[in-house]
């Protein structure tokens, strides 16, 4: 019983605990026990179901193929096989495909940031005459599911209207269409809309023209939203499959997501799983480092769509 | 230092709203001019037109004899202090102060000197390397002032700079701004909705309402000879009592009579004063004086009385006002009028 | 010249990247899609107009009703598995008093795994041999080995299971964010009125979450209607077309070996998908408007 009042004081300083279960209800043993058990069960579920497959992958990546095939749930019955990783990295060329994936991701990020920031800046701060029309056109594209444009985009890439030179096997074919993300622009514009107009007026009086205002004032003030858009741009790039599959026929240019299914047939399981594991390293590490950005951004996107 | 002149300046917004109506006003060099009025009266719009943040629909604004209608804000040689300070949040105090100067291509040495001097005057020296979010409201306000000072402009334009400060800080900062302005001698236009600020700070005050200038004058002129009932009841707190003249048997329905709360005495009318009976509803004790809320028929009056005066809520008493303190206004236009014959 | 002075040039310059990219890769393709659905395209000769022939081909294709049914099945199952579970999890997580971050991270982790990786991983899990991963686990509780993606009956649910694993996390986070937005005072007032935990959940939490819940549902349906990676990588539409979805059919029309290069049909089916989803969204919004406006 002595522990009880101590815990109570702790809880009051517990930032963010929701209000559904109030302090006095929490003190009722049945609630505490019931909810506590539910939480423990949930945690167990999350670890086993959420983390489980990933841990299995990590384990199997360094387990000899034969062991994975015969006793998949055993833990290193005959020792480790670090060789899987090096084989995957070198012979299966995961290093090359990882580099491609990263190059594509960086390019995607750059193009998306440039388009979203300049476009949102123009629409929010500079306010051109046809701004509302452009916004409306942007919003309608939000309702068009991206995958459905694959066909006309593909035909366009293979045979562009004015240029008549195919862009197949060219990273621009990936970067440019991805930059046409109305979601990014709307997110940025909303952020810019919420910046205090007085600051822009002060800058005007200080003598800042539109370019100076953009680079010296607006962009530095936008770090939070730039972070969120960047994280999602890079993540989406890593996850992209169908479009790169269509436009990048040259294996040397393909990212991991496209290449992995193609080598599944003729790669030993252990090595293949090692390749899969290596592919996950960047997204997972990135997620753990930038957790707050991921989670805040997802929440934001939910609010936006509502 | 420059004089500023409004010549028939009008502002009509895109949706047809008339914000400023043919404003004619001349501000002298080095003067501290206050624009005061209720929200929506056009005072801020007028200020922003001087700054160049609003386009001028009609008329001309001259800064130091130069028409500036088509001159961009940065070339008008003015500096603005915003209500919410508008500090650049990602820059330090020093960078905030220096930003405009850097854009003007002023030499680094000169910038450093001006920043140092301004920081010294405003007591910001320890805060130069901090960012705005680490500062208190009062400190941020001083940085906003500092940003205006370093520009060494021909005029300061201040848009309700004290309204975000708490009451005590407001009184203190009021004095500091005045001292600063006297020291620098820069022409200043100061916009506020608070008539106390206007009265205590302005060399002259422009009372505005619905886009028009109602009266321009010194605080004393506005207080003792208000041009109309609006100015009369706007300036001074508690507000002047304005009632129909017949209530005090002083004229016809065409007249209104006004008298300030401090001019009401307790007691029956003597020679040279007018008397009336009123019920005392509430008495507010302020320490150095009392405010008595009176009821005369259907009218409410306020009297400012010495603490020693005996008035009990719930009683009726006789009150008197000296005839000299009475002001008469035309009932239809609200303009100041001569006493009825 | 006054236009330049008034900043017109800089407005245009800043808009240029957006206008170019959207014009070329968003607006133009939309128009092109409509046109292509009415044309015969083979990338060599100029396109020929064929009216509604493409649509007719698609509708009369025996695979079309199969694809539609499968897609509906996927969307329906995904809704069944993947809609209530994230909500329950989010409500529980929102009441966690310590280490809430841990719960969020664990829930979201599968979402950051690239879909290709998670599908290929689960493909190994679904190995139908008795020493496949899942079959081994089932063996622990005395259940015989299952065929999983090799069985016509089990293939689709298997796909949905993996898809739910990979995507539920982001829904949990969205719900969590919405839950933290619920005004604490509402709970306090309800408690003062005598409401217990379940009543508060029903009368305060759910109504406040109404908009998010409705939006998430429609977005999930729209998203799952476009599913491609799972049927493509797990089963290639099999076994016996039991996992053939609309997107897979579109891909087959355009790039498949058997049909291939039927861009017109692919465009027509794409357009039909968009039209259906748009109509569905409009009906859905109209129907739920009375529920969500409060």
The three-state secondary structure class of A200 is helix
Q: Which domain holds residue C254?
A: 52-292
Average pLDDT of the segment spanning C91-103: 82
Interface contact flag, A206 B99, Cβ < 8 Å: yes
C-alpha B92 chain-centroid distance: 32
Q: pLDDT averaged over chain B?
A: 92
Say if residue C28 is in the same domain as residue C85.
Answer: no
Do both C18 and C132 map to the same domain?
A: no
Same domain, B41 and B171: yes
- Say how far apart CA C42 and CA C264 lie, in whole Å: 9
Residue C42 in any domain: the answer is: no
CB C178 to CB A303 under 8 A?
A: yes
Min Cα–Cα distance to chain C from A17, Å: 6
Q: Say whether both C57 and C162 belong to one domain.
A: yes
Check residue B254 and give its pLDDT.
87
C-alpha R_g of chain A: 25
Judge whether C46 lies within some domain: no
- On whether the CB atoms of residues B14 and A127 are closer than 8 A, the answer is no
Cβ contact, residue pair A203, B89, below 8 Å: no
Lookup: tokens for B241: 């009592």
Give the 3-state secondary structure of chain C: CHHHHCCHHHHHHHHHHHHHHHHHHHHHHHHHHHHHHCEECCCCCCCEECCCHHHHHHHHCCHHHHHHHHHHHHHHHHHHHHCHHHHHHHHHHHCCCCCHHHHHHHHHHHHHCCHHHHHHHHHHHCCCCCCCHHHHHHHHCCCCCCCHHHCHHHHHHHHHHHHHHHHHHHHHHHHHHHHHCCCHHHHHHHHHCCCCHHHHHHHHHHHHCHHHHHHHHHHHHHHHHCCCHHHHHHHCCCCCCCCCCHHHHHHHHHHCCCCCCCHHHHHHHHHHHHHHHHHHHHHHHHHHHHHHCC
**Which residues are within 8 A (CB) of A61 and not within 5 positions of it... i.e. 6 or more apart?**
A84, A85, A270, A273, A274, A276, A277, A278
C112: CB partners within 8 A, 6+ apart? A235, A283, A284, A286, A287, A294
The partner residues of B278 in beta bridges, in order of sequence, read B317
pLDDT mean over C19-30: 92
The torsion of the CA quartet A205, A208, A210, A213, rounded to 10 degrees, works out to: -100
Same domain (yes/no): C266, C143: yes
Which one of B203, B233, B263 terminates a domain? B233
Q: To the nearest whole number, what is the mean pLDDT of chain C?
A: 85
Please tell me whether residues B169 and B307 are part of one structural domain: no
Q: Do residues C257 and C144 share a domain?
A: yes
**B235 against A33, higher pLDDT:** B235
pLDDT-above-70 percentage for chain B? 100
pLDDT tens digit sequence for B250-302: 888 888 999 999 999 998 888 888 889 999 999 999 999 999 999 988 999 99
Q: Which of A46-55, B181-190, C196-205 comes out lowest in average pLDDT?
A: C196-205
Closest Cβ opposite residue B103 in set A198, A206, A221:
A206
Same domain, yes or no: B138 and B269: no
Alpha carbon distances (Å) from A140 to A116, A127, A135? 17, 20, 9
The share of chain C scoring above pLDDT 90, in percent, equals 19
CA–CA separation, B261 vs B302, rounded Å? Answer: 6
Angle in degrees, CA C20, C21, C22, rounded to 5: 95
Return the residue matching tokens 């001349």. B26
Query: Are C72 and C134 in a shared domain?
Result: yes
Write the CATH number for B309: 2.40.50.140
What pLDDT is stored for residue C4 in this prediction? 54
Pick from A69-73, B182-186, C27-31: least confident: A69-73
C279 contacts chain A (CB < 8 A): no
Q: What is the mean pLDDT of residues C158-177?
A: 90
Indicate if the pLDDT at residue C256 is higher than 80.
Answer: no
Q: What is the pLDDT of residue B153?
A: 93
For the record, the structure tokens of A200 come out as 């822009």
Residue C153 lies in a domain: yes
Domain boundary among the residues B207, B233, B259 is at B233
DSSP B59-116: EEEEETTEE-TTS-GGGTTEEEE-TT----TTS-HHHHHHHHHHHTT--HHHHHHHHH
Instruction: Work out the number of other CB atoms within 10 angstroms of the CB of residue B183.
Output: 9
Give the CATH number for residue B196: 3.40.50.300
Helix (H, G, I), strand (E, B) or coil at A94: helix
Question: Is position C223 within any domain?
Answer: yes
Of B51, B90, B100, the CB nearest to A207: B100
Q: Do C201 and C277 belong to one domain?
A: yes
Instruction: Supply the pLDDT for residue A216.
Output: 93
- Tell me if chain A has a CB within 8 Å of the CB of C94: yes
Q: Are residues C182 and C58 in the same domain?
A: yes
Question: What total number of domains does chain C contain?
Answer: 2
* Ranges of H-type helices in A48-130: 52-61, 65-70, 83-90, 94-121
Average pLDDT over residues B205-213: 94
Domain boundary among B199, B233, B267: B233
Q: What total number of domains does chain B contain?
A: 2
- Between positions 95 and 134 of C, the ones with CB within 8 A of A are 95-98, 100-110, 112-118, 120-122, 124-125, 131-133
Q: CB-based contact (8 Å) between C264 and chain A?
A: no
Q: Hey, what CATH topology would domain A93-263 get?
A: MetI-like fold (1.10.3720)
* Per-block mean pLDDT, blocks of 10 residues, chain A (306 long): 37 49 70 81 88 89 82 79 82 87 94 96 90 89 81 87 84 92 91 93 92 94 91 90 90 90 87 89 89 79 64
Q: Which domain holds residue B291?
A: 238-337
Q: Could you tell me the residue ranges of all domains in chain A?
A: 25-87, 93-263
Handedness of CA C249, C253, C255, C258 (dihedral sign): positive
Predicted TM-score (pTM) of the model is: 0.84
Instruction: Give the whole-angstrom CA distance, residue B250 versus residue B229.
Output: 17
Give mean pLDDT, residues C205-222. 84
Using CA atoms, how far apart are residues C13 and B60, in angstroms rounded to an integer? 33
Does some domain include residue C248?
yes
Whether residue C185 lies inside any domain: the answer is yes
Of A270, A260, A263, nearest to A70 (Cα)? A270
Same domain, yes or no, for C1 and C86? no
Within-domain flag for C130: yes
Helix (H) or strand (E) holding B189: strand B187-192
Chain C contact for A173 (CB, 8 A cutoff): no
Distances in whole angstroms, Cα of residue C103 to Cα of each of A13, A14, B303, C91: 20, 16, 67, 12
* pLDDT tens-place string over residues B20-63: 999 999 999 999 999 999 988 999 999 999 999 999 999 999 99
Please report where in the chains the tokens 């400012």 appear, as a residue.
Answer: B304
In a domain, C45, yes or no: no
Question: Chain C: nearest CA to A79, how far in angstroms?
Answer: 19
Structure tokens at A290: 């930038």
Interface residues of chain B, partner chain A, Cβ below 8 Å: 51-53, 73-74, 78-80, 82-90, 99-100, 103-104, 147
A 10 A CB-CB count for C212 gives 23
Q: Are residues B19 and B88 in the same domain?
A: yes
Are C58 and C32 contained in the same domain?
no
Q: Say yes or no: A278 contacts chain C, CB-CB below 8 A.
A: no
The kind and range of the H/E element at B281 are strand B273-285
Question: What part of A 186-205 touches C (C-beta under 8 Å)?
Answer: none
Give pLDDT tens digits for B158-182: 999 998 888 888 998 999 999 999 9
């Amino acid at each position: 019983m002595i522990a009880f009042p101590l815990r109570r004081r702790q809880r009051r300083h517990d930032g963010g605990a929701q209000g559904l279960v109030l302090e006095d209800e929490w003190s009722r043993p049945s609630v505490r026990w019931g909810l506590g058990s539910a939480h423990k069960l949930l945690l167990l579920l999350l670890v086993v179901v959420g983390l489980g497959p990933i841990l299995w992958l990590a384990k199997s990546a360094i387990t000899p193929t034969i062991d994975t095939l015969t006793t998949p749930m055993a833990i290193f019955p005959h020792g480790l096989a670090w060789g899987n990783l090096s084989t995957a990295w070198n012979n299966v060329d995961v290093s090359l495909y990882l580099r491609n994936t990263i190059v594509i991701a960086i390019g995607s990020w750059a193009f998306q940031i440039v388009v979203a920031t300049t476009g949102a800046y123009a629409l929010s701060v500079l306010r051109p005459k046809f701004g509302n029309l452009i916004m409306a056109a942007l919003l309608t594209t939000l309702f068009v599911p991206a995958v459905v444009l694959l066909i006309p985009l593909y035909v366009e890439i293979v045979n562009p209207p004015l240029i008549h030179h195919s862009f197949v096997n060219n990273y621009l074919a990936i970067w440019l269409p991805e930059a046409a993300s109305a979601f990014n622009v709307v997110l940025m514009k909303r952020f810019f809309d919420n910046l205090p107009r007085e600051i822009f007026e002060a800058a005007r009086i200080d003598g800042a023209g539109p370019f100076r205002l953009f680079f010296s004032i607006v962009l530095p003030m936008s770090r939070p939203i730039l972070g969120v858009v960047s994280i999602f741009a890079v993540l989406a790039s890593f996850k992209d499959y169908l479009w790169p599959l269509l436009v990048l026929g040259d294996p040397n240019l393909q990212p991991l997501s496209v290449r992995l299914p193609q080598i599944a047939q003729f790669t030993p399981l252990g090595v293949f799983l090692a390749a899969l594991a290596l592919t996950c390293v960047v997204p997972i590490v990135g997620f753990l480092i930038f957790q707050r950005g991921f989670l805040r951004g997802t929440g934001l996107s939910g609010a936006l769509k509502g | 230092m420059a004089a500023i002149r409004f010549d028939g300046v009008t502002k009509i917004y895109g949706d047809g709203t008339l914000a400023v109506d043919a404003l004619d006003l001349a501000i002298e060099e080095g003067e501290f001019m206050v624009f005061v009025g209720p929200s929506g009266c056009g005072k801020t719009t007028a200020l922003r037109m001087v700054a160049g943040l609003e386009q001028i629909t009609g008329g001309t604004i001259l800064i130091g004899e130069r028409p500036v209608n088509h001159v961009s804000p940065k070339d008008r040689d003015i500096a603005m202090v915003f209500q919410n300070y508008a500090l650049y949040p990602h820059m330090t105090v020093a960078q905030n102060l220096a930003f405009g100067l850097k854009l003007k291509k002023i030499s680094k040495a000169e910038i450093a000197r001006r920043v140092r001097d301004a920081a010294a005057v405003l007591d910001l020296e320890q805060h130069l390397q901090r960012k705005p979010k680490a500062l208190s409201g009062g400190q941020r306000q001083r940085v906003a002032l500092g940003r205006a000072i370093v520009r060494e402009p021909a005029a300061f334009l201040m848009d309700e700079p004290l309204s975000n400060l708490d009451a005590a800080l407001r009184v203190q900062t009021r004095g500091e701004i005045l001292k600063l302005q006297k020291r620098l001698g820069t022409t200043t236009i100061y916009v506020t909705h608070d008539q106390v600020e206007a009265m205590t700070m302005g060399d002259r005050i422009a009372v505005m309402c619905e886009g028009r200038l109602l009266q321009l004058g010194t605080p004393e002129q506005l207080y003792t000879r208000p041009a109309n009932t609006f100015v009369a009841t706007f300036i001074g707190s508690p507000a002047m009592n304005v009632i129909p003249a017949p209530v005090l048997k002083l004229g016809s329905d065409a007249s209104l009579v006004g008298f300030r709360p401090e001019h009401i005495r307790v007691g029956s009318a003597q020679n040279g004063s007018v008397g009336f009976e009123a019920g005392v509803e509430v008495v507010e004790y302020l320490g150095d004086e009392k405010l008595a809320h009176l009821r005369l028929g259907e009218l409410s009056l306020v009297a400012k009385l010495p603490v020693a005066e005996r008035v009990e809520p719930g009683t009726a008493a006789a009150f008197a006002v000296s005839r000299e303190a009475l002001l008469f206004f035309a009932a239809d236009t609200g303009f100041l009028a001569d006493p009825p014959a | 010249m006054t236009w330049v002075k008034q900043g017109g040039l800089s407005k245009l310059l800043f808009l240029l990247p957006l206008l170019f990219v959207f014009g070329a890769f968003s607006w133009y393709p939309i128009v092109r899609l409509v046109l292509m659905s009415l044309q015969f395209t083979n990338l060599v000769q100029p396109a020929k107009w064929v009216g509604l022939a493409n649509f007719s081909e698609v509708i009369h294709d025996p695979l079309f009703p199969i694809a539609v049914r499968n897609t509906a099945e996927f969307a329906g199952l995904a809704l069944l598995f993947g809609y209530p579970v994230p909500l329950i999890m989010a409500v529980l997580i929102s009441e966690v008093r310590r280490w809430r971050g841990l719960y969020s991270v664990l829930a979201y982790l599968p979402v950051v795994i690239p879909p290709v990786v998670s599908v290929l991983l689960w493909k190994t899990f679904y190995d139908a041999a008795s020493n496949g991963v899942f079959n081994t686990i089932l063996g622990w509780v005395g259940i015989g080995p299952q065929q999983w993606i090799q069985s016509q009956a089990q293939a689709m649910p298997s796909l949905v299971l993996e898809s739910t694993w990979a995507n539920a996390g982001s829904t949990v986070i969205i719900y969590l964010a919405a839950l933290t937005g619920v005004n604490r005072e509402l709970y306090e007032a309800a408690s003062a009125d005598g409401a217990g935990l379940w009543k508060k959940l029903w009368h305060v939490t759910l109504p406040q979450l109404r908009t998010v819940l409705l939006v998430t549902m429609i977005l999930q349906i729209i998203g799952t209607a476009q599913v491609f990676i799972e049927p493509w990588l797990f089963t290639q539409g099999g076994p016996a077309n039991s996992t053939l979805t609309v997107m897979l059919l579109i891909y087959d029309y355009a790039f498949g070996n058997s049909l291939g290069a039927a861009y017109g049909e692919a465009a027509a089916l794409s357009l039909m998908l968009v039209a259906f989803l748009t109509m569905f969204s409009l009906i859905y919004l109209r129907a739920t408007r009375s529920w969500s406006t409060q």
